Structure 1
Amino acid sequence: MVLPKSRIVTVMLSKPGARIPWCWRDYVQPWLYGFIDDGGRVHTAKYSLFTFSFLPVGPVFTPEGLGSQNGVWVFRFASALPWVLEMVSRGVQKSRTVKIGNAVLKPAVVTEEPLSRRATYQTGAPVLAAKLKERGFWTPREREFADAVARSLTNRWAYLTGNEVSPESIRFEFLGSVRQKLVQYRGRNLLAFSGIVRLGAPDEMLTFAQCVGLGQKPSCGFGFII
């Protein structure tokens, strides 16, 4: 399986102090799907096989939303499907603006960032692990959190390649301080976690994890690692 060797990085500009609502994923995800001209196959697939991160430079946190002191934002997009990566790259480059809530952002620079194979990564978007047989979410203090991350990754690999990989070959843990967040998505509050993560896996799976994200709902803006 030949996976992409890089992801898209876009520097966006807004007015200094501009705020985007905490439910910003509800705006960004449809914007991305608008670039993927495949008759809706990716949108309706069991696994979309992409993930994204959207972070302000000089972050400002308010009850109303997330802001950037200097009006600079960094958007990252990754996918295990090279043609999806190419479509989104072209779409972002052609976009004059994107409106998120009342904030208007302008893509200024679109470039590529190489993927890496190493032991530790920073979360660019929080990792989510929901309980499947009951309501609620696992936390990193519980063994089931790492198990859910491993299963999610190997399930996506099997979906893409048709080859099974044992979840036991994936080792995941947070290192040091872990930040807990209630993330707004489509009217729900989802419990997710951010920080430095250690990921042990075969080299190809390390690349794949950066392409599709970790945990659940990566195509909704969760589980992105840098």
Structure 2
Amino acid sequence: MGRNRHKRKNSHVVIVTSDAADGRMKQFRIRPWILQVIIIILCVIIGALIGYFSYKKDIWTAKLQQTTEQNEVIAVLEQEKADLEAQIAGLNEEIAGLNEKIQILSETVSQKVQTETALSEQLEKEYLPTRLPLSERATMEDMAEGELMCVFAAAPNSMVVATASGTVTAVNEDAEYGNNVWIEHGNGYTTIYRNQGEVKVKVGETVTQGTTLFLITEESSKLGYQMMKDGEYVNPMDMLNISG
């Protein structure tokens, strides 16, 4: 019973042939475990390839979806950019319109300032006693000795007029000339008119340059004209000369 039994070793035979006319046939013996290892390796490789291509498909699908989403976002951003550019263009038009209005207003204000300046200068001139105190030409006699007063000999029917705009502050009887009228011009100047004619204004009345104060007649042809500056008598001819 002690007979040893030898296990029979199985092997696989791989036959390789050629399709040539003189082709020879070759045989290779492969152990089963080697064939199993080869099969396992092939299965692993095939599985790896299948997994790789499946994973790569998912990656490309994800990238494609991501690209689509990015394109959609880009399209939205481009639309927003176009809308913003349109808004900016509209705002630029509004700004141009506002700038034009500002220019017009600036020119209007400038013209108004110039007009007001011209009016102010005109009013200032009207309140300066620079014109002749008579409506017609007259002969001026020598200035009264010791007094800063011009004496004029006027023609009948001419008028004694205010040399500047102002307010009548006094109407008095005058011992030499009959009557006198005092006008305050609001700029430090006061003018005094002395004549025998009828006074045409009253105290408190506002007069303009050229307002009639007396009517000259044959009996009241003499006019005495004086001027004060800040309460001091000044030579009236200085102002008349300045005005030409």
Q: What TM-score bracket applies, with the shorter chain setting the length?
A: under 0.3
TM-score, length of structure 2 as denominator length: 0.19
Of Structure 1 and Structure 2, which has the larger fraction of its residues in strand? 1
TM-score with structure 1 setting the length: 0.20
Larger RCO: 1 or 2 (CA < 8 Å, sep 6+): 1
Which has the larger share of helix? 2
